[in-house]
Amino acid sequence: MAKERPLHGGNIYQEAQKLGVEPSELIDFSANINPLGMPPNLMSHLHRCLDMCVNYPDPDSNKLKNQLSEYIGVDKTNICVGNGALEIIYLIFDSIDVKKIVIPAPTFNEYEKAAKSSGVEVAYYERQEKAGFKVNFEELFDFTVHNKAGAILLCNPNNPTSTLEEAGELVSLVAKCSEREIKVIIDEAFIELTKMPKENSVASLVKDFDNLYVIRAFTKIFAIPGLRLGYCVSSQGNIARLEAKQPSWPINTLASEAGIVFESDEEYIRKTNEWINIEPNYLYKELCEFPEIKAFPPSTNFILCKLLAYGWDAERLKSKLIEDKILIRNAENFVFLDNTYFRIAVKERDSNNHILKALKKINWR
């Protein structure tokens, strides 16, 4: 029987404990977070806000919702906030009232767990490797109708394949689904880490389509997985239904202050854009030089790879790289992938070179 693998990357605590080192000594390529770290203006603002924790947060998160409303270009009644994108995913499953959902995979594992927790059956539509893991939208629609599913959940850009679907294709899908009362949920947790986030996002479409839910997060772009802040953009009615399922204080005081990131940290935004425009392609091209590895082209800050070297699997590579304090994500527990796949995050140039150097050192025979 296959060994249980962790559901997610980023478990530096467990790996560090196994190695007997401090978590900070590991270079974590298993979690896909902006390597520039938390924006400096957010860090200082949160310090200043600490004493606000003696009061309850604003239950309506008015300040944050106003900031998000301006950022996304929708009314604040089209937004609900929660403890990370993950909580929003569970909340949607809990409120959409469908029996079956179609999920293009391989994709983020947690969708299945969330579906199960709400008693929703999952039908996986396979993203074909030979098509670069891209979705064939006609096939996906037919598959959904054939399966009599009430919803589709599509991750864009997709974790772990790093594929990005065109916004135009998504608009057509949402429109076609709308005619059949099929809900479409798009997880855009990584959208701001693509080259043209505004053009790639479909969040503003919620003004036109009642069947669309867009999931977003502060987690990846602003490197704050520990603060837990995500949101959903959808029609006013859908948002009211989601909020009815939330506790009275859906997020904590510090998270409700995180909207400061939209104010004038131009240096951080410039550096992030520069990095996302250069580094994924740099690392991808370098990985393509290894005959032992097939790397799939990235649209965002992580790269899916397949081991081609005889006798190697992701767990063996992971153990080898751990010797250099490098942590990668074994991708074997993603539906439709096997133990030859692994995923690595794109980091800043020095770290990217560090993993390349470690890979070059390996005797693949």
Name the residues that contact ligand PLP, by CB under 6 A. Answer: 84-86, 108, 155, 159, 187, 189, 217, 219, 225, 230
Collapsing DSSP to helix, strand or coil, 184 comes out as strand
* Residue placing its CB nearer to ligand PLP in the complex, 290 or 296: 296
Q: Tokens standing for 197? A: 């986030």
CA angle 132-135-137, nearest 5°?
150
Provide the minimum distance between the beta carbon of 334 and ligand PLP in the complex, in angstroms, as a whole number.
11
Provide the minimum distance between the beta carbon of 106 and ligand PLP in the complex, in angstroms, as a whole number.
12
* Residue placing its CB nearer to ligand PLP in the complex, 26 or 358: 26
CB 152 within 8 Å of CB 172: no
Provide the minimum distance between the beta carbon of 159 and ligand PLP in the complex, in angstroms, as a whole number.
4
**Would you tell me the crossing angle of helices 84-95 and 110-117 to the nearest 10 degrees?**
40
Tell me the one-letter amino acid at 15.
E
Q: Indicate the pairing of strand 121-126 with strand 100-105.
A: parallel
* Residue placing its CB nearer to ligand PLP in the complex, 219 or 340: 219
* Residue placing its CB nearer to ligand PLP in the complex, 118 or 353: 118
Provide the minimum distance between the beta carbon of 107 and ligand PLP in the complex, in angstroms, as a whole number.
7
Provide the minimum distance between the beta carbon of 238 and ligand PLP in the complex, in angstroms, as a whole number.
19
Within the chain, strands assigned E span 27-28, 79-82, 100-105, 121-126, 151-155, 183-187, 212-217, 230-233, 293-295, 302-307, 326-327, 329-330, 341-345
* Residue placing its CB nearer to ligand PLP in the complex, 217 or 287: 217
Task: Measure the CA–CA gap between 140 and 146, rounded to whole angstroms.
Answer: 10
* Residue placing its CB nearer to ligand PLP in the complex, 86 or 295: 86
Provide the minimum distance between the beta carbon of 143 and ligand PLP in the complex, in angstroms, as a whole number.
21
Residue nearest to ligand PLP (CB): 84
CB 344 within 8 Å of CB 24: no
